[in-house]
Structure 1
Amino acid sequence: MTKICMAGVTGWTGRAIAAGILDADDLTLTGALARKTAGLDVGDALDRAPTGVAITADVGEALSGAEVLIDYTHPEAVKEHTRAAIHRGISVVIGTSGLTATDYAEIDKDAKAAGVGVLAAGNFSLTAALVQHFALIAARHIGHFEVIDYAKAAKPDAPSGTAREMAERLGDVRQPELGYPLDQIGGTPETRGGTVNGVQVHALRLPSYTASVEALFAVPGARMTLRHDAGETAAPYVEGTLAAARRVREVKGLVRGLDQLLFAD
């Protein structure tokens, strides 16, 4: 039985993940972290039967007794939560977006020193993981590629964790070819997007979108688009997140991407 602390337990995604933990036969919820609902029983907060687990705003209290921390909170909080868990010998599953490559390098260093595992993904849905996997294969063969990120108008970070992770990992496969040097572009060069690990990323923020990402590849005379679209519920993220929680203690240091877990064997 894996003991789980859920950070962001009453958030949009956190509620679905917490319900999945409560329904699982091999997982148990030992702690729950959220500021606005601190003091409530998790069951009451989720409109379920009482669980005996009280929500707290204190990360140390929430982590007590846990073996794995699952974090779906906020970019300003997730790094602190992750370090608090690592220093207690607790493995971490990060679903929160907004961390940079530098942040992840620091987390990897801390996790390796502590001998614990951290599994982070910009998106824990199966379809997003498959798009990531296929994109990395495509980048081995096609030199021209860019990423487009779509999300709701009120999303506070850009690009999304899904798009940032994709760009960082694509750039590690190869640096894409550019038709014209970015530093020589006239007009409004900012419209060419932002550069993440050498890859151009374009972030759109509009009503009616939830979360979508496209990896576009092109050769003379042909194009290929790999696209993931999320619906309006958090259900797609539950299975992947819980799979990560079940296996994160098998690794040491940082692993990025649910696809790394799916295709590890």
Structure 2
Amino acid sequence: MRVLVLGVGKTGKLVAEVAAERGHSVHVLDATENKDGAALTAPFVAGFDVIIDFTTPEAVVSNMRACLFTGAKMVIGTTGWYDKLNDMKSLAERRGGSLLYGTNFSIGVQLMLQLTRQMATALKDAGYTFSISETHHVSKLDSPSGTAITLGEAVRTIIDPHKEIPISASRVGDAAGIHTVEAISPNDRILLTHESASRRPFAEGAVRAAEWLSTRTGVYDIRDVFDKL
């Protein structure tokens, strides 16, 4: 498989390494080579089977517009752009492209999301108050993290769609990512925590997602397909 990786941050570099380890041909573009998506011309994009984006909230939308317009297949690991999600879904569908997006491609985090929904369902009428906390490395641009927002949405949808779930965010050193869902009652406290030891699970999940997407057309949320990867 021919893979184009957009972004050479810590996760983007690891995505490229994992893709190469899995036997794929990999090309990487950094921000200086692809300002405002200018490098993503139709002939260039046509040379790849799948494009994986781990750039920034500012760059990702331009990248998606350029690539999806050509009917390309894209896996988006960048977060902080979901106000444009409907536009990008529509573009992919109109142009016959493929889009797989998600706030976290780690299988462990996806399992945590499932457990969070189960916990919220079980405690819905039991008098518990929910909150989310997350800790990431100091260079992470979005705060709170997309994963924390997704966890909060999972709880809110079940407990009360009209009530925001409090989220606290910390940026410390080189932390790969810690997410905790807390449920407190007058009598006890329940904690559900996922702690990443490295970014490799994110990178492996993104590459597996690209392999899965390479034979499909359509728009997918990682939450709906992670068990197929």
Query: The TM-score by the shorter chain falls in which range?
Result: 0.7 to 0.9
- The aligned residue for residue 24 of structure 1 is 22
User: Unpaired runs of 5+ in structure 1?
Assistant: 40-55, 179-197
Q: CA deviation at 1:128?
A: 1.4
Distance 1:115 1:213, change over 3 A: same
Distance 1:118 1:151 in 2: 26
- Deviation, 1:176, is 6.4
Contact 1:146 1:215 in 2 (8 A): yes
The Cα shift of 1:81 comes to 0.8
Pairwise mapping of residues 105-116 of structure 1 onto structure 2 (< 5 A)?
105-116=86-97
CA gap 1:115/1:223 in 2 versus in 1, 3 angstroms: farther
1:134 and 2:115 correspond: yes
Alpha-carbon separation, structure 1, partners of 2:94 and 2:45? 19
CA offsets per residue over residues 167-213 of structure 1, 9 Å max, x none? 234433442697xxxxxxxxxxxxxxxxxxx3221112233633211
Distance in 2 separating the partners of 1:81 and 1:57:
9
* Alpha-carbon distance, 1:6 to partner: 0.7
Distance 1:177 1:57 in 2: 41
Matched, 1:73 2:55: yes
Distance in 2 between residues matched to 1:172 and 1:219, nearest whole Å: 19
Q: Does 1:238 align with 2:193?
A: no
Structure 1 residues 93 and 151 mapped into 2: Cα distance closer, same or farther (>3 Å)? same
By how many angstroms is 1:76 displaced? 0.3
Contact 1:217 1:224 in 2 (8 A): yes
Q: Report the residue type matching 1:106 in the other structure.
A: D
Hey, what's the Cα distance between the residues in 1 that align with 2:67 and 2:172? Answer: 35
5+ residue gaps, structure 2: none
Q: Say if 2:70 is the partner of 1:88.
A: yes
Q: Residues 186-245 of structure 1: CA distance to partner in whole angstroms, max 9, x if unpaired?
A: xxxxxxxxxxxx3221112233633211112344523322111122x4322222111100
Q: Could you tell me how far apart the structure 2 residues matched to 1:62 and 1:34 are?
A: 15
Shift of 1:161: 1.9
SS in structure 1 at match of 2:134: strand
CA contact (8 A) 2:46 2:72 kept: no
Inter-CA distance 115–92: structure 2 relative to 1 (3 Å threshold): same
- The percentage of aligned residue pairs carrying the same residue is 24
TM-score (norm 1): 0.72
Query: Is 2:8 aligned against 1:3?
Result: no
Q: For residue 93 of structure 1, report the CA deviation from its aligned partner.
A: 0.7
Q: Kindly indicate whether the alpha-carbon contact (under 8 Å) linking 1:33 and 1:57 is maintained by their aligned counterparts in 2.
A: no
Alignment of 1:220-239 (within 5 A): 220-231=186-197, 233-239=198-204
Q: Is the 8 A contact 1:146 1:199 kept in 2?
A: yes
Which residue in 2 is equivalent to 1:256? 221
Instruction: Kindly name which structure, 1 or 2, has the bigger radius of gyration based on alpha carbons.
Output: 1
Deviation at 1:17, TM superposition (A): 1.0
- Partner amino acid for 2:31? R
Displacement, 1:67?
2.4
Match of 1:119 in 2: 100
Amino acid at match of 1:34: D
Higher helix share: 2
TM-score (norm 2): 0.83
Structure 1 pair 227–57 and aligned structure 2 pair: CA distance change class (3 A): farther
Question: Residues of 1 paired with 2:158 and 2:2: CA distance?
Answer: 36
After superposition, the Cα gap between the structure-2 partners of 1:105 and 1:130, relative to the gap in structure 1 and judged at 3 Å, is same
Paired residues of 1:171 and 1:199 also in contact (CA < 8 A): yes
Answer yes or no: is the 8 Å Cα contact 1:33–1:59 preserved in 2.
Answer: no
Q: Secondary structure at the match of 1:59?
A: coil
Judging changes above 3 Å, is the alpha-carbon distance between structure 1 residues 177 and 65 closer, same or farther for their aligned structure 2 residues?
A: closer
Deviation at 1:158, TM superposition (A): 0.8
Rate the CA distance shift 1:72–1:207 in 2: closer, same or farther, 3 A. same
Equivalent residue pairs, number = 221
Supply the RMSD in Å over aligned alpha carbons.
2.7
